[in-house]
Amino acid sequence: MGLLHDIGRREGITFIRHLIDGYNFLNSLGYDDAARISITHSFPIPDLDAYIGERDCSPQDLKFIENFINSTTLNDYDILIQLCDSVSLPSGFCLLEKRIIDVAMRYGINAKSISSWQARFQIKEKFENEIGCSIYQVLPGIIEGTFGFSMKDE
């Protein structure tokens, strides 16, 4: 399901609309859990105002997203997908800090950005505590994804 979290982009490059497009598409196929991920992956804190992209969907869809995130208790799978999304670029895995800067440079920041970043670091720490090591030790290609070169190139 993690591979489907951005399936709403099949409708084109959109901002918050990709959440509802993905949700509606997967829900229409009967994939409720995957549909859920289409929305929850963008909200490490349950606050619509934490979203930093454009509000490019209808007021009704915004209200649906807001109600959904306010009434949904995130489970470990929701937050695992948030973590994966937070340490990934199209080129591969990267440090969480690089992904945060990447998103901030593309979309900007708002009054909730620091709280959202803190939540992402807490999620990372939660899973590191569960696996007993840094997530960077188990994700392949961190050096390449973060720095654009391999240690083998040295």
**pLDDT tens digit string along 117-136?**
999 999 999 999 999 999 99
Three-state SS at 93: strand
pTM recorded for the entire structure: 0.91
Helix, strand, coil distribution of the chain in percent, nearest 5: 65, 5, 35
Q: What is the residue extent of each domain of the chain?
A: 2-141
For residue 154, pLDDT over 70 is answered with no
Are the CB atoms for 35 and 65 separated by under 8 Å? no
**Alpha carbon distance 111, 53 (integer Å):** 13
pLDDT tens track for 51-107 = 999 999 999 999 999 999 999 999 999 999 999 999 998 888 999 999 999 999 999
User: Which residue is listed with tokens 């909730």?
Assistant: 112
CA atoms of 84 and 96, how far apart (whole Å)? 10
Res 143: pLDDT: 84
Task: Map tokens 């190139």 to a residue.
Answer: 153
pLDDT of residue 151: 62
Residue percentage of the chain with pLDDT more than 90: 84
Residue 152 is predicted with a pLDDT of 64
Q: How far apart are CA 154 and CA 151, in angstroms?
A: 5
